[in-house]
Amino acid sequence: MVSAQDQIGLIMQLRRRGIRTTRVLRAIERVPRDLFVDQAFVDHAYQDIALPIECGQTISQPFVVAYMTEKLDLDDRHKVLEIGTGSGYQAAVLSHLCRRLYTIERWRELQKAAERRFAKLGITNITTIIGDGWLGWPPQAPFDRIIVTAAAADPPRALLDQLKVGGRMIIPLGESRDSQSLVQIDKTEEGLVETALLPVRFVPLVHGRVKRP
């Protein structure tokens, strides 16, 4: 059984690790992470660790979710694009801080499961899409913010194009799993400004949609 106490414990842990933005902590508090993890790992849902999900993917560590959310610096007028829906946990947290979230996943199973979770939680400002995140989502561009939750060697060109001037993207970049860095990219009138934030470990941003037989 998961209790309110578990959620409080997680929030305290995030605070200790330096997450101080009240809006972000409150958004995390509103999302029951036990709903987003595999039944087998439900006892670990409120520990600050990444856990395996279906299709060989992972639900990110709560600290990384909180940190990326903080760095996105969202407000409730923002239109946001997420690449890599996965369990839907990061999306659910973001949905409480922005106007509308579009989230792209290449695995249908994951997209469907995430949609069921959003419905169960009464979240109505998320649009899920099956597709290739490398291409972004041109019909809804431009976006105020873009968050990528899988790692690439370089930021996808289409995503940079779909970011508003004055907008920000947070993305893990690195050639291999052992050498990734979370990077903030600000799109200014003068061009792109990149800031390295912290070493991370994400699954790769794969090219193409999942092919069906």
CB 179 within 8 A of CB 202: no
CB 151 within 8 A of CB 180: yes
If the CB atoms of residues 73 and 132 are measured against ligand SAH, the closer one turns out to be: 132
| Residue 83, CB-side half-sphere exposure with 13 Å CA sphere | 34
Query: How many residues contact ligand SAH, by CB under 6 A?
Result: 23
Query: Is 155 one of the binding residues for ligand SAH (CB under 6 A)?
Result: no
- Exposure string of 138-155, with b = 16+ CB inside 10 Å and e = fewer, is eeebbbbbbbbbbbbeeb
Q: Which stretch binds ligand SAH (CB under 6 A): 4-12, 40-48, 131-139, 160-168?
A: 131-139
Paired residues of 127 in beta bridges? 102
Q: Which of 7, 69, 90, 128 binds ligand SAH (CB under 6 A)?
A: 90
Query: Is 89 one of the binding residues for ligand SAH (CB under 6 A)?
Result: yes
Q: Which stretch binds ligand SAH (CB under 6 A): 1-9, 73-81, 129-137, 178-186?
A: 129-137
> Cα-atom radius of gyration of the chain, to the nearest Å?
16
Least distance in Å: CB of 26 to ligand SAH?
Answer: 18
CB 157 within 8 A of CB 167: no
Least distance in Å: CB of 133 to ligand SAH?
Answer: 3
Least distance in Å: CB of 66 to ligand SAH?
Answer: 12
Catalytic residue list contains 60: yes
Three-class secondary structure of residue 102 per DSSP: strand
| Contact residues: ligand SAH, CB under 6 A | 57-60, 83-84, 86-87, 89-90, 104-107, 110, 132-134, 149-150, 203, 205-206
Residues designated catalytic: 60
